Structure 1
């Protein structure tokens, strides 16, 4: 059995920036967005068209859109929560993909947690569910040929605790039944996890149950936050659970930054770090078309902008060195700091002058190049 087809959506400019300082200059955001466009990432979310009163970090989204340089072949999208936001976004289409040219697949969604729904959207879970009938009616009138179902805060909530497979399946069953009544096939499911409650064994068991209950669902989206360190391993569990007939859509952010001010964990919420996810996918033999070296450059650029280290790992230690040209120097001095660890990209100058306790140069038959060191 092979792995599913994987798509990857970079959310750093939206999910990441929405929890950062609102004073980050537009010039820096544009520079980062342009750099991300050169990495090979195929889908980048550029920001949100929302009220600056509640999300001041997105107050200059119009300036960012007007000044960045779109790259052909990259899909750019943005979040818009209401009609006013959608109208603003439409002004920038193209290059912004506002959905007109995408496959029309209406989706019924709701938060598992009513408390978080009220904090996050100022609407109750019941109000979200009340919208379903109109969504289905509109989809039928527009001739939709497929549909989706989905939940947010899927595995649990910091405010009301854990949700079980049975809890989620109850929501999914109700959503699926409405599409069945409209005679629109359900082909996709999405599971969001804004409060970092995902665990790999629970992600696996949920996907297994969905596939068993509805074999026609072949498209799976996971939006996993990383406040408890489980996002990447949960994505791995999904890769091992699904097969080559499925599509797995993953979301993440460079540096693993991100978070929702309504979750209670702030910047500690994080998200699956893009550099770590791309590195894992490539090591598993799943071609992403992404240049990990350029992604690391973007992470370092982001860290300079924020004035602090971000939450990913591969940007600090580098990918695994695979060739003799990439292997570390056996006679390098102690490497102790994050700055010195950047030698994997910057070379030995970053650790010059470090402690060197060995009396003789290290030589090994496993490293023939060391045997050529002169006495």
Structure 2
């Protein structure tokens, strides 16, 4: 089973990447037991999601939440048809990760890539490197790809739309640094087929995302893959993802990073747990409504969100997990149901009438409708 959701008429193919186990748990309590993380990963594995990032191979000194990554990988139950990956940020992490490839982990995108953080401050806080140091590393990356006989490559900018320390970046800046990277690769005889746009501080806006993607496609029509990592810090990420879907059109692939319940955050950007991602369950509903054959089971996905909330000890940030999907058929709400006010009562879509035993029911007679004759 492919991880790609084929695009309906007029829309690009989509790859939905579940980041809750990495981007989500890395901002939560470091004392969460590995056994609970395994329970959550196993629950996610049976939802119909096809690509799950299980964690990251990083220093436990700086990211203690990932200290048990080896125990997690050895303990979870892989499901056929699900592609599991893990992040590695340096040579040591790559070496540790390699022992689990190809089973149970899959390799990342084989295309080599260059990347630049537009925010020099965030780059230093996050990776202890200046923007100048990142640029200086590009030639060696390209040379390594040439030596490895790579035929395709990717380019990207992170903190693409703005910075909590430096303010908003212009479209010209984004396109300039993408162009500089593109030139290095093409001069080396390697075709650029992928663009990554990251936004750890949540400065994305739908009209800016759409304009940038159109500019990329106008300049480089040979680009086949766009990867968006948009944080939902200011509530714009789902709208921006929809703008991307409607901008790219057929014949291209859009990779979307999301997280169950929106669980995510960044200790380096000044927003902490407020730097959420678009909730996976909300985006899955959007994709299903647009006609994508996701095969995702919404009930199991919502159950995984509720499990995650119990594990982390606080409510998460999505909407579908609280209100449910669009009710239809035998899941239409009872017409004379009582007042529904609390979030717990609103979960009647999963718990049934027991969720609202007790609230006010002021109607003297049962409510009926000629438009719903079967009750």
TM-score normalised per structure 2 = 0.96
Conservation of the 8 A alpha-carbon contact between 2:112 and 2:154? yes
User: Which residue in the other structure is 2:35 paired with?
Assistant: 27
Q: Distance in 2 between matches of 1:231 and 1:195?
A: 11
**Cα shift readout 1:69-96 (whole Å, capped 9, x = no counterpart):** 1112211111111111111112222324
Q: Does 1:137 align with 2:143?
A: yes
User: Which residue in the other structure is 2:6 paired with?
Assistant: none
Conservation of the 8 A alpha-carbon contact between 1:89 and 1:98? no
* CA RMSD, 1 decimal: 1.1
Q: Does 1:148 align with 2:154?
A: yes
Conservation of the 8 A alpha-carbon contact between 2:26 and 2:66? yes
Structure 1: unaligned runs, 5 residues or longer = 371-375
User: Which residue in the other structure is 1:373 paired with?
Assistant: none
Q: Does 1:346 align with 2:354?
A: no
Q: Does 1:192 align with 2:186?
A: no
Q: 283-292 or 166-175: which moved more?
A: 283-292
Conservation of the 8 A alpha-carbon contact between 1:226 and 1:272? yes
**Cα shift readout 1:21-57 (whole Å, capped 9, x = no counterpart):** 0011111100000111111111111111111110011
Q: Distance in 2 between matches of 1:104 and 1:23?
A: 34
TM-score normalised per structure 1 = 0.96
Of 248, 254, 257 in structure 2, the residue corresponding to residue 248 of structure 1 is 254
Q: Distance in 1 between matches of 2:177 and 2:101?
A: 34
After TM superposition, give the deviation of residue 369 of structure 1 in Å: 2.4
1:172-321 matched pairs, under 5 angstroms: 172-321=178-327
**Cα shift readout 1:196-247 (whole Å, capped 9, x = no counterpart):** 0000000000001011111111210000100100111100000110111111
Q: 4+ residue runs of structure 1 moved beyond 4 angstroms?
A: none
User: Which residue in the other structure is 1:81 paired with?
Assistant: 89
Q: Distance in 2 between matches of 1:168 and 1:98?
A: 31
1:326-365 matched pairs, under 5 angstroms: 326-365=331-370
Conservation of the 8 A alpha-carbon contact between 2:83 and 2:106? no
1:50-199 matched pairs, under 5 angstroms: 50-97=58-105, 99=107, 104-199=110-205
